[in-house]
Structure 1
Amino acid sequence: MIRSFFYIVLLILITRTAYAESEPSIQSTTFTDGYTLDIGMFYANSDSNFIATNPKTGGTFPVDFEDELLLAEAQYLPYFEFTFSFNQRHNIYIDWKSLDRKADTETVSQDFILEDIDGKDYLIETGSKLNTSLNIDILRIGYGYDIWQGTNYAVGVSLGLHAMFVETAFKGTIGICVPDSTLCSNSVATPEIIDETITAPLPDIGLYGSYEFYPGWIFDAHAHYFSIKYDDVDGSLVDVRLGVEAKICDNWSLKLAYNYYDVDVTIEKTRNIGNIEQRTFDYNINYSFTGPMFAVSYVF
């Protein structure tokens, strides 16, 4: 996923360079187009589960990634943010956040079936040892327009799209079930089972502002929001950030911010059996962060 982020950034750079070469040489005397790259860290808290099937009753129930499968609830994570500012008031931004976790469960406490992963069903029995990975990437692409500008401030609005990439992998002693039946073979050592899910791009709207209160010191803030229920996705996002940027030399700055960030997404997966739609491997993911963020920023 990180490669995709940098491919998009590279595409913008190449496109903008080609466009700049074709422009007349007249430049604004008060504003210069520019690129900003932020690389930072933040501390995230996560709560996620998936829907599994009870092999005895056929009913469904949630299995918690953190409580049952022992994935870490909190950890330090990287983030990247790229901004292209042009024509004085316009901004294109891309940011990427990642949550990659892995854990070993020595003894699974309950039987459950993973349904419809690559067209197959898998049985995990009580007492089995299981290695679980859950990788979540959130990519945001958007456009911002400065409505008000002054010599030391700017206020604008933004429109963006979020996409969530979820990859789940299981390794261990796992049984393979006969499709469309309740029969599952004895548990055997199974190669890694991988499920990859991508949400449709989810829209968000936002406000942002910046104010230079002392030469080289800038206060900035933004707030983004979306809430949507469409097709198989039901989700919401709140992202509020207040921060200070300190310029340390011509191109480099340090940024410290306080961020409230919360994504809550349910992804429903179904399949048709005998003209009846049945829920299979649903996700419910809550990815939240409240606390400080730190970044190094480079302008070029």
Structure 2
Amino acid sequence: MLRFLLTLGVVAGTIAANASAQAVEQIRQRPAFELALGGFITDNDATIRFDSAALGRGTQLDFAEDLGFDPSKTVTRVDAIARLGTSGRHRLDGSYFRLSRASTTTLEETIQFGDQVFTYSADVDSQFRLAITKLNYTYVFSRGPSHEIGASVGVFVADVDLGLTAATLNLSEREAVTLPLPTFGLRGQAEISDRLTLKASTDLFFIETDDSDGSLVDLRLSAEYALTDNVALGTGYYFVTTDLEYTGSRDTLSLGYDYSGLVVFLNFRM
């Protein structure tokens, strides 16, 4: 009986060791680097207010209703993952996209934007640019042959540029600001099969200081189907809502910006 128990223990230990080795081996087979390039079909809802030290509180402007911007546009989006070392515990996540829009509209009311007042019925040309750059470090605290889940910290950089021009009134005003926002969140993925992978992430940000006040929620869910060992076709849904107020040396910029939509992409795995 003792010999049987010892033999059973050795067999069980060998099976467990082999299973553990296989799990680690599968984890290590995850790509060291991934680069996803795709088209992001955005649906935007934005408001902006630009206060002036001389004129006081500016007019709250809706991008679609007041400035005539099209709320939908397709842009290029880039996402990347880099796994560091051999432990499978450390990774860097990054993404970038840029949204540029222009419009011409006839004002239906008098508005104040910064130090300028644009009167009712004036024809106003508007230019808007938003560039979003994200970089996160993720520590994977749970991993297995078919999943990994990690906690992340990082930075969300919003580069905002808005200009209004009324040529007939000889008026022009522009505000450009770069807001680096610290974030924390979760990231995870699950391999449903050899070819199908689901990924999800969330980033959050809340701050209240003397010159900044706001919040950010960034959610992503995607699915990828491997066409080859190195290329996968993916689709996903992104949702971001921001509410920010930044006070500079002479003025205050208030921005409420929500965007969401589908993205279709190719993920190149190396």
How do 1:201-216 and structure 2 match up within 5 A?
A: 201-216=180-195
The alpha-carbon distance between structure 1 residues 158 and 59, as it changes in their structure 2 partners (threshold 3 A), is closer
**Which one-letter code corresponds to 1:196 in the other structure?**
A
| TM-score scaled by length of structure 2 | 0.79
Match in the other structure for 1:231: 210
Q: Structure 2: which amino acid aligns with 1:83? A: I
CA-CA distance at 1:52 after TM superposition: 5.5
Gaps of 5+ in 2: 1-23
Shift in Å at residue 132 of structure 1? 0.2
SS state at 2:60 partner: strand
Given residue 285 of structure 1, which amino acid in structure 2 is its aligned partner?
Answer: G
Deviation at 1:212, TM superposition (A): 1.3
Match of 2:138 among 137, 144, 148: 144
- 1:248 and 1:239, CA in 2 relative to 1: closer, same or farther beyond 3 A? same
- Structure showing the higher helix proportion among its residues: 2
Aligned-partner SS, 1:68 = coil
Identity over aligned pairs, percent? 21
Residue-by-residue CA offset, 1:27-60 (whole Å, 9 max, x unaligned): x97626622111122322222222357x9x9664
Aligned to 1:8: none
Taking structure 1 as the reference length, what is the TM-score of the superposition? 0.71
Q: What is the rounded CA distance, in whole Å, between the counterparts of 2:66 and 2:249 in structure 1?
A: 24
2-structure distance, mates of 1:122, 1:207? 43
- Structure 1 segment 23-62 matched on structure 2, within 5 A: 31=28, 34-40=32-38, 41-51=40-50, 60-62=58-60
State how 1:115-130 maps to structure 2 within 5 Å. 115=114, 121-130=115-124
Give 1:270 deviation, angstroms.
5.3
Deviation, structure 1 residue 221? 1.6
Give the equivalent residue in structure 2 for 1:283: 254
Q: What is the aligned residue count? A: 241
Opposite residue 74 of structure 2, the aligned amino acid is Y
In structure 2, do the counterparts of structure 1 residues 197 and 58 end up closer, same or farther at CA, with 3 Å as the change threshold? closer
The question of 1:256 aligning with 2:235 is answered: yes
Candidates 70, 73, 88, aligned match of 1:72: 70
Output the aligned Cα RMSD: 2.6
CA, structure 1 residues 229+42, in 2 after alignment: closer, same or farther (shift >3 Å)?
farther
Query: Match for residue 183 of structure 1?
Result: none
On the 8 A contact 1:44/1:77 being kept in 2, the answer is no
Name structure 1 gaps, 5 residues minimum.
Answer: 1-27, 116-120, 175-186, 272-279
In structure 2, C-alpha distance between the alignment counterparts of 1:244 and 1:266, rounded to whole Å: 35
User: Structure 1: how far apart are the matches of 2:174 and 2:56?
Assistant: 23
Structure whose alpha-carbon radius of gyration is higher: 2
Q: Are positions 1:95 and 2:95 aligned together?
A: yes
Question: Partner residue of 1:12?
Answer: none
Alignment partner of 1:197 is 2:177:
yes
Deviations 1:226-275 (A, max 9, x none): 1112333222222222322110012110112233332222233452xxxx
Tell whether the 8 Å contact from 1:102 to 1:134 is kept in structure 2 after alignment. Answer: yes
